[in-house]
Structure 1
Amino acid sequence: MALKIGDRVPDFTSKTSTNSNFDSRDIIGQKVAVIYFYPKDNTAVCTAQACSFRDQYQDFKDLGAEVIGISADSIASHEEFAARHALPFVLLSDSDKKIKTLFGVPSALFGLLPGRVTYVVDKNGYIVLIFNSVLGNNHIVKALKAVKNLVS
């Protein structure tokens, strides 16, 4: 079952693009978080989306929020993607799709592509925004507005 607005984000762990261990409890429930699921490293829309989050990252940080990108790509792919585009936020490898399943992220284009969904989570760990769109750049605008609303 898919998570919805008002649900608490369940705990999860993963490996980051630097092969470090990631435990969601270190961020979720501690500060505002933007968790975005995207289909694939180094594709046109995903790269544009990641670079838009990169370009607005300081705005998120200034508001006390952390950005987390998640896809099924390998740690090595994430490492190269993050380095190539100077991504300052954490990328998580969900190669077994456990996190995607935990959130209930739907597939796009009749199940042919992994979904592109952004979640904004308040500092208590509850979802306040779910934005599902294949258009990558719209995610940043929606997420930043939701984060601003949380802290104002």
Structure 2
Amino acid sequence: MASAPEIGDIVGDFCLPGGHLDGETFHRRNHTLCEQRGRPLVLAFYLGDDTPVRTARLCSHSDGMARFRFAGATVWGISPQGLDSHEKFARNRRLSMPLLSDEERVVAKSFGISAPLIALHRSVFITDGHGRLHWKHVTAPGATCPPAVTLSTRLAGLTG
């Protein structure tokens, strides 16, 4: 298993199935990290669809998409659930960001956030346009992740 990336490291490429809600259509496709080269990317790892704390935070991220777009960034939510669960979650909460499925927790393990009893630690990673890790926040069990306004501040001035 690769070691977790540190600030300044180039994050290794990965490919995960995912989907995003656009109006009434949930578009499914594979998402690769390298396709985001040239623009900042926020990777928001969460425990599961419809879990209370993370649902509120993901809704905050989705509601704050204008801030992220202004900063030139894309946001991906990543959890161990499958695409059917992600689609239901996106529809119920009207989430517009892509939700990626890491069912085997391969990507979570590569980021060093896989945890035996809770599946993974709530975490947020921001890469710059070159794929270099710019900022990360990994929580202890029971802690919360930073809100969208904090993340958009971290993105200010970050360009590809």
What letter is aligned with 1:61?
R
Q: 2:117 aligns with which of 112, 118, 124?
A: 112
Could you tell me which runs of 5 or more consecutive residues in structure 1 were left unpaired when the two chains were aligned. none
Q: 1:22 aligns with which of 17, 26, 31?
A: 31
Give yes or no for contact 1:131–1:142 (8 Å, CA) kept in 2: no
- Root-mean-square deviation (CA, aligned residues, Å) is 1.5
What letter is aligned with 2:33?
S
The equivalent of 1:3 in structure 2 is 5
The equivalent of 1:101 in structure 2 is 109
The equivalent of 2:127 in structure 1 is 121
TM-score normalized by the length of structure 2: 0.85
Q: CA deviation at 1:146?
A: 0.9
Could you tell me which runs of 5 or more consecutive residues in structure 2 were left unpaired when the two chains were aligned. 20-26
Moved over 6 A (4+): none
Compare the two structures and name the one with the higher helix fraction.
Answer: 1
CA shift digits 1:125-144 (9 cap, x unpaired): 101101122313x2424321
Give yes or no for contact 1:131–1:139 (8 Å, CA) kept in 2: no
CA shift digits 1:36-81 (9 cap, x unpaired): 1111110111110110001111110111100011000111111111
What letter is aligned with 2:89?
F
CA shift digits 1:67-98 (9 cap, x unpaired): 01100011111111111111111110000111
Compare the two structures and name the one with the higher strand fraction.
Answer: 2
Q: CA deviation at 1:106?
A: 4.4
What letter is aligned with 2:50?
N
CA 1:139–1:102 in 2, change beyond 3 Å: closer, same or farther?
farther
TM-score normalized by the length of structure 1: 0.89
